[in-house]
Amino acid sequence: MKLKYQQIKFDSKPIKNKLIQSSNPRTISIPTNKIDKVKMLRSFMPNFIHSLDASNVHLLIKDLSATVKIPFYIIHDCFASTPNNIELLESKVKRAFIENYFKDAGYLLKAQNKIIKQIRDSFEIIIENGKECIEIETTTKDKEYFELPQLPKAFKNNKLNDFVKGLLQSKYFIGEIPY
């Protein structure tokens, strides 16, 4: 699946009601053929995270509708149920999260590998202070070195299973409201 993410620029145009002369002018937005790069940069990460949260919700709903019927409520990335079902819901939310991010090498590892491949295909890799970096010329014509992004330590040395076990045992993944 290919995704295309773009925000277009809009021009504002004030309009006046010709029938009612005393009315205030209104402004309408008219799309242009130009891309709004600033808006894209500002909105990409929040939209991306929101999409990942939504995928967790979809996996949770799929699991709950296939296994147990409990009342549950979702607002964005907050989950609730009746007190007698909160532990089950907590477990199911954690399992949806694990399936989304860690199953079959997981989304995070796959995304990391694709990002690193794109960087390697686009830039010359330089070793700076023993670390792989790319060199970028700044607006002041200086050169800066940026280290290639690294996975968290939990992903290295086969410690991912320990991380997932810790996630399953964590009580602070979802906060409970005491009754």
Cα–Cα distance for residue pair 176/179, rounded to 1 Å: 9
Handedness of CA 161, 114, 111, 156 (dihedral sign): positive
Helix ranges, 1-85 (H): 37-67
Question: Within 13 Å of residue 120, how many CA atoms lie on the same side as its CB?
Answer: 9
Q: Write the DSSP symbol of residue 6.
A: -
Tens of pLDDT, residues 130-176? 888 888 877 777 778 888 888 777 666 667 777 788 888 887 655 44
Indicate the pTM of the whole model: 0.63
- In total, the chain counts a number of residues equal to 179
pLDDT confidence of residue 156: 66
Cα-based distances in Å from 80 to 58, 67, 179: 15, 18, 13
Sequence-separated (6 or more) residues with CB below 8 Å from residue 137 = 143, 144
Question: Within 13 Å of residue 88, how many CA atoms lie on the same side as its CB?
Answer: 13
pLDDT confidence of residue 63: 92
Which residues of the chain register pLDDT less than 70? 1-5, 105, 154-158, 172-179
Report domain extents, the chain. Answer: 8-169
pLDDT confidence of residue 158: 66
pLDDT confidence of residue 84: 93
